[in-house]
């Protein structure tokens, strides 16, 4: 087994290959493993094709019940920005952001602050959509990269069903980056390239096909190839901090 980084943006990366050998019982040591042929580190088509093959079970024991009624709709843009850094070169540094807001790590756990009613740890005013819409996939956008920082959460009603659109942007450059979605009962119902144009009847048609069965392309996208995803998240009946974090573990 072998793995290497994927990066479709023109950014220098550590392109080392990690390898591992699985030895099965009953196989003689004289059988030497061969190194698999890996795709190029910037092979976007291969990466997208691989992602579409990720499925989950859809059986009577583990049924797929995608909710068709959505209580809350969120639209998050993903991009780069700049923030002040007196000790950095030119006095600024690059940061990642959602809706042009970069997360600031609190000194106290978020759930701890919630349960003990600690003030000043976080705000619940994270915007449901970009405060200033723009041509997300236009020519590389290098001006007005100022990004606000803060520990800002989006407060969602108990037992809500949420529709979340992730829209990549060309702020400085485009990048494919993993996201960690902590929760349960969530479904990727579509991916596409460009700027998402959602049909108004998305959730009331047979076009809704969830990750556990298959994935599909949005039928109407425009612009250069920037990955976007639509996710439906059905919350359970408990109090949680739903972490949605670019990168990291």
By the 8 A CB rule, do 189 and 209 touch? yes
Q: pLDDT at position 166, please?
A: 80
Please check whether residue 36 lies inside any domain of the structure: no
The number of distinct structural domains making up the chain is 1
Please check whether residue 112 lies inside any domain of the structure: yes
Structure tokens at 233: 């998240």
Q: What is the phi/psi pair of residue 55, to 5°?
A: -130, 165
Question: Which ranges in 54-197 belong to alpha helices (H)?
Answer: 110-115
Least confident of 10-14, 91-95, 223-227: 223-227
Q: pLDDT at position 241, please?
A: 58
Average pLDDT value for residue range 196-224: 39
CA distance 144 to 79: 12
Structure tokens at 51: 């992602």
Q: pLDDT at position 22, please?
A: 84
Please check whether residue 67 lies inside any domain of the structure: no
Please check whether residue 210 lies inside any domain of the structure: yes
pTM of the entire predicted model: 0.74
Please check whether residue 41 lies inside any domain of the structure: no
Q: pLDDT at position 61, please?
A: 85
Structural domain range at position 89: 72-240
Structure tokens at 231: 């996710």
pLDDT tens across 82-109, in order?
888 899 888 888 888 889 898 898 999 9
**Residue 166's CATH number:** 2.60.40.420
The yes-or-no verdict on residue 126 having pLDDT over 70 is yes
By the 8 A CB rule, do 64 and 210 touch? yes
Please check whether residue 194 lies inside any domain of the structure: yes
Question: Which ranges in 69-169 belong to alpha helices (H)?
Answer: 110-115
If one compares 43 and 227, the residue with the highest pLDDT of the two is 43
pLDDT tens across 15-57, in order?
788 999 888 888 887 878 888 889 998 888 888 788 777 777 7
Please check whether residue 77 lies inside any domain of the structure: yes
Q: pLDDT at position 119, please?
A: 93
Please check whether residue 12 lies inside any domain of the structure: no
The yes-or-no verdict on residue 245 having pLDDT over 70 is no
């Amino acid at each position: 087994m072998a793995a290497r980084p994927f990066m479709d943006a023109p950014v220098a990366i550590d392109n080392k290959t990690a390898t591992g050998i699985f030895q099965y019982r009953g196989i003689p040591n004289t059988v030497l493993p061969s190194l698999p042929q890996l795709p190029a580190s910037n092979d976007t088509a291969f990466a997208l094709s691989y992602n579409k093959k990720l499925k989950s079970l859809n059986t009577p024991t583990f049924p797929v019940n995608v909710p068709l009624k959505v209580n809350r709709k969120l639209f998050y843009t993903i991009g780069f920005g700049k923030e002040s850094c007196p000790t950095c070169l030119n006095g600024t540094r690059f940061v990642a952001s959602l809706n042009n807001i970069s997360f600031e790590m609190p000194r106290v756990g978020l759930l701890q602050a919630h349960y003990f009613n600690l003030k000043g740890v976080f705000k619940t005013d994270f915007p449901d959509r970009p405060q200033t819409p723009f041509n997300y996939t236009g020519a590389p956008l290098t001006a007005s990269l100022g990004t606000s920082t803060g520990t800002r959460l989006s407060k969602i009603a108990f037992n809500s069903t949420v529709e979340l659109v992730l829209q990549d942007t060309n702020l400085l450059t485009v990048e494919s980056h993993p996201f960690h979605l902590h929760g349960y009962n969530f479904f990727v119902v579509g991916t596409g390239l460009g700027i998402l144009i959602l049909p108004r009847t998305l959730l009331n048609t047979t076009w809704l096909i969830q990750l556990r069965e298959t994935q599909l392309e949005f039928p109407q996208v425009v612009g250069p190839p920037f990955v976007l995803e639509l996710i439906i998240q059905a919350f359970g009946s408990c109090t949680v901090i739903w972490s949605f974090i670019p990168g990291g573990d």
